[in-house]
Structure 1
């Protein structure tokens, strides 16, 4: 085996270890419920697709993979395996994309950075679409570069676009980035196959859009909190990928210690990115780097714009779409400086500098990587413990009242898989979602003893504190309004029922 192939295998092995170790140890993330529910509830494909139509972003491809895994096992680690595969698939694609710069070492460096990226590791371990979306963006970009040289490649490019569209609407963001790239490059040779590919992809997507697209237009207020906490003022376009490359959405190094070193490494990545941009600007660098430097700022701006217009919320993890392009530009910026160090013909200095830079990135990413890979996230509720608490506290004549269906289903998943599969729906009340059929949780109708009132659906941070305050032994009863429907009495906390 040649040297590049051996290095690629080592990178993939390291990536597999970081993503698969303890895959079932970390508890459920709320958004995983959608996929878990589709995997275990439905044994027919149409039922899975009906569920997918109720979510504006979990479209076809990713619920389908969860459903297929659910046919084999209901274990959490089994259903998370596809995400590991998509993460490794994206790493291999970034290697291939970086090699189009003319040097395979740039692709190797970019793949190594993505392998160590805490954000990519985090979402390569969840029953969710983010690792899949990242991989499809990379392979679609690779097909675009081939399309520019050979018009017959429009079919593979179209295939990647169809898969991307049926996995997430952000495919439209990359379509705009690719169109801007072709416009910047000049010439019209690639426009015809490009438009043909997207025309076919749009026709394939149209039936599904007509079926489920009405969910894409419900608008809520944009959440600017992550900007205030994570990005320095005046460095929005550059700061977002720099900070996200070394942290995760639920782990802030500034609050965990070692912040100075982590942010120093992030600043170094930003410097290398700007070095790459300057080099490409002066020398009219290879097409793949032109595409990267378009994808980072334009992709970031378009993702934010789409969320402002169409989405229910904005989360930093949605920027994983541009992360591989940012890291590829960082790897190229490092190669620019290594070339200067090696002008005297010495190979020892560039090699040592490369090793030191990679070690610094790994050390900067280490706190978030350990937390997201091998530890239970502190900001998430421990659903298994909560399910056990309710099981011990609830009496046969109790009704368990939930703030949203996500919490109810996740808790039931931990307690009784058979009851989880028998779930038929939730009855909406003025105070949340009430689970009607929960024999495994010993639910009755005459009173309420265990009451859960988490925050907004899908918002993890408020969930933990409210869950433990409300379902624990010492919560403030005044926080819970009396339930007046069907003549029920004011809910009583566990252990204090009269």
Structure 2
């Protein structure tokens, strides 16, 4: 009993692991959608679906019990219903094993152990589908059938097993249509088993008739719609029938090791161990059967189990030939036959263990294969192409209540209902996609009218599913491009693109000539000039001179007076949103794009600027402005951002890491923060960018401050920042109800040890000494550059070296002239970190002192970025620089190279000295002569 209890608890623990890790996929989205509809509509929908309604109805009640109105839904709530069904299968397996093999005490333990670690059953003990529930109901009906046959065989007719069989079989049929194959196998076996006593057929014929009568109402209601649905689905999916060998191998592998693909050869080899384990099991069973006479009841039990396994499998194979529908994971349709397969294995193992050690080998192989399948199930990401969690989060944060989400499949609606946050009154945060029927949507006047009406209300968000070969997403986007301006265009996977469209007054382009590398901007304009910080759209018109060749990246930036970027968007290629040119000017193109002004921006004037870069977006081309200084953005004009009349809800803030318990002090609430993505580490010595999101419930004191701390494992701060980052917008200037984004950045110590640290935020009032305890936002990974402390040997040594300020010495350099370019390596000795960060300038001058080429930017080595704040005392650096030389300049034209360090914000250079004597602000290097 103790071992059985341990296996039950272990099986439950396995089924509760990582419930929310995997995203929902299409079928689970359907389940969520059906189960969250009113019951009457749910019945109407499932009558037009490929599965009957019982599972969805029970899931509907489960949701009401665990997530009543106003509670967040979440995948875990729905998946725990499958966990319950999966767990109930474990004691049902013990009962079934004891029912079929009452004389073998080891069989229940072996059977429940094989089921507890079975990867396929674990899969459907978490997936929000009906297969696990159908399997449990099938086990109950099979056990009732066997109890009824056994009581009849002993001359003690008992109506209770018959009633249990009728009820459980009917419920199973209302759960999964394929359960009819098991009911057919059960009744056929009962009649065959009682073939010598036909007078005992009557109760089972009546039981079958009762099951049919209970199921008849649903068949009359659903079959007319179901037949057409199945025919359409078979034709649309174009699956090919599986041959008998493939059909058998796929089911055998799934029953033993699951159907999640292994990520490597070793794990795949281990997963096949279950199939290998069948060989010694067959040998061991054969050797034991030659010396042990099996009891007749045991032989009947094995024959029945084979019938309950092979008859449904054979009928399903014939269906596959007539109606070929076998998608990836299609073995799930026969999950209900898994218990009989495992019972046969358990009985064979028990018989083999009586006589042969080969049975122990077989059991070990089966458990190794199952264990590898379980590990694969728990560790391999699935459905990444269908992960709508970031899509729902982006739309929630960037949309307005009057916006529209355009869904074309019911499973998309299900995703929203699971992932979308709720308002204080319990309703889902708008916008929400409208409910859909089961019929396929098609382009037509009705859909065009619906889109027009949605655009009149606000922005239209369209998560386009592109994996089905349908022309509808393209037709929708073509129509939207004709009617509105694109404000979002983001690929979330190879098959899912999120676009957003808004009707904004078309801005007129004014002459604005500027050269951005190989691209020429001819004119530009934007509208409106005044926008509320509440996800309001801004439209921009560009006229470009069409580049002859190449693919280019466009960057729109909304900056404050300090150069801090608050909003904007990137897109590529240039010309992606170009409209046809009625004048047919082949060398010009005009395009209109838009972006959103996010919630929480401080009111005031901002500069809208544009830049162009390489196709990969790694860098923007420099632009010569009127002063001759190099920039990478062209200013287009100023936009005035104002506070909205009604503050948006906090869910509209682009919070990356929300606080479960917001921090509150004097009516100011810290709602969460944003920093580097979880998969990106900060560099010791570099700046850590952070945004803190706050809400003002009431007027705050001007003495309020934000505290940021990077905490180590012991809870000690290794880097901190204190203050109020918005100098022109102090805490007492914000009206009650307002939301604000607070941009903060601070430098990490250059000698900070690599590892994981916690980023914590708090509030403090300098006037009253009140302070909140630090609240952890997220974990931040920190890395360090590889440092070299051995002195290098530069090809061209400077003697004595040239020192810049008190921070670094230039020891020498190496030059490698190339065709129309120069590769330069600079060798530095670090004296101390250099903050704020400085860049290195490299200028190539002629004998007349004219600069003909340059390469300015942050320090980089062959190992990657090396910002000056990360330099360690005593370290030696070799920075690399590639300077393109202008066409037509030969190797003899340049005369010297000037090198130095400067502050990029104001171009102030560090002074240079040699042997203690000042030499200006640059080191002069000799140009190599051939």
Q: 2:709 corresponds to which residue?
A: none
1:269 counterpart residue number = 278
Q: Distance in 2 between matches of 1:321 and 1:363?
A: 23
Q: Give the TM-score normalised by the residue count of structure 1.
A: 0.77
Match of 2:213 among 198, 203, 221: 203
Secondary structure at the counterpart of residue 245 of structure 1:
helix
Q: Which of 192, 199, 202 does residue 202 from structure 2 map onto?
A: 192
* Distance (whole Å) between structure 1 residues aligned to residue 275 and residue 421 of structure 2: 44
Match in the other structure for 1:80: 79
For the pair 1:17 / 2:32, whether they are aligned, the reply is no
Could you say which residue in structure 2 is the equivalent of 1:334? 349
The question of whether the paired residues in 1 share the 8 Å contact of 2:277 and 2:363 is answered with: no
Secondary structure, counterpart of 1:452 in structure 2: strand
Find the partner of 1:415 among 420, 423, 427.
420
SS at match of 2:465: coil
Summarize the alignment of residues 270-309 of structure 1 with structure 2, pairs less than 5 Å apart. Answer: 272=281, 285-306=298-319, 309=322
In the other structure, the counterpart of 1:105 is 106
Q: Secondary structure at the match of 2:386?
A: coil
| Partner-residue secondary structure (3-state), 2:14 | helix
Q: Which has the higher contact order (CA 8 A, sep 6+)?
A: 1
1:68 equivalenced with 2:61 (yes/no): yes
Structure with the bigger percentage of helix: 1
Q: CA deviation at 1:242?
A: 2.4
1:22 deviates by 2.7
* Structure-to-structure mapping, 1:81-96, within 5 angstroms: 81-96=80-95
Correspondences of 1:212-291 after superposition (within 5 Å): 212-217=222-227, 218-219=230-231, 220-221=234-235, 234=245, 236-237=247-248, 239-249=249-259, 251-253=260-262, 257-269=266-278, 272=281, 285-291=298-304
1:365 and 2:365 matched: no
Structure 1: 5+ residue stretches without partners: 342-348, 458-462, 483-490
Q: Does 1:317 align with 2:332?
A: yes
Residue 85 of structure 1 and its aligned partner are, at CA, apart by 1.7
The Cα shift of 1:179 comes to 3.1
Alignment of 1:44-59 (within 5 A): 45-59=39-53
TM-score norm. by structure 2 comes to 0.43
Counterpart in the other structure of 1:177: 185
Distance 2:115 2:374 in 1: 12
CA contact (8 A) 2:137 2:168 kept: yes
| Structure 1 match to 2:823 | none
* Separation in structure 2 between the aligned mates of residue 478 and residue 280 of structure 1, nearest angstrom: 77
- Matches of 2:19 and 2:79, distance apart in 1: 7
Does structure 2 conserve the Cα–Cα contact (< 8 Å) formed by 1:31 and 1:128? yes
Give the direction of change, closer, same or farther, for the CA distance of 1:494–1:340 in structure 2 (3 Å limit): farther
Shift of 1:19: 0.6
The 3 A distance-change label for structure 1 pair 392 and 492 is farther
Secondary structure of 1:246's aligned partner: helix
Of Structure 1 and Structure 2, which has the larger fraction of its residues in strand? 2
* 1:342-491 equivalences in 2 (<5 Å): 354=360, 357-373=362-378, 376-377=381-382, 380-391=385-396, 400-411=405-416, 413-416=418-421, 418-419=427-428, 424-426=434-436, 428-430=441-443, 450-456=462-468, 465-468=493-496
Instruction: Give 1:137-156 correspondences, 5 Å limit.
Output: 137-150=138-151, 151-152=157-158, 153-156=161-164
Which residue pairs with 1:488 in the alignment?
none
Shift of 1:88: 1.8
The whole-number CA distance in structure 2 between the counterparts of 1:309 and 1:324 is: 27
Q: CA deviation at 1:264?
A: 2.9
Q: Which moved more, 1:18-27 or 1:361-370?
A: 361-370
d(CA) in 2 for partners of 1:492 and 1:8? 68
- DSSP-derived class of the 1:41 partner: coil
- Aligned pair count reads 456
Of residues 448-457 and 72-81 in structure 1, the stretch that sits farther from structure 2 once superposed is 448-457
Match of 1:253, SS state, is coil
The equivalent of 2:705 in structure 1 is none
Partner of 1:135: 136
Gaps of 5+ in 2: 68-72, 152-156, 470-490, 501-569, 580-590, 597-609, 611-930
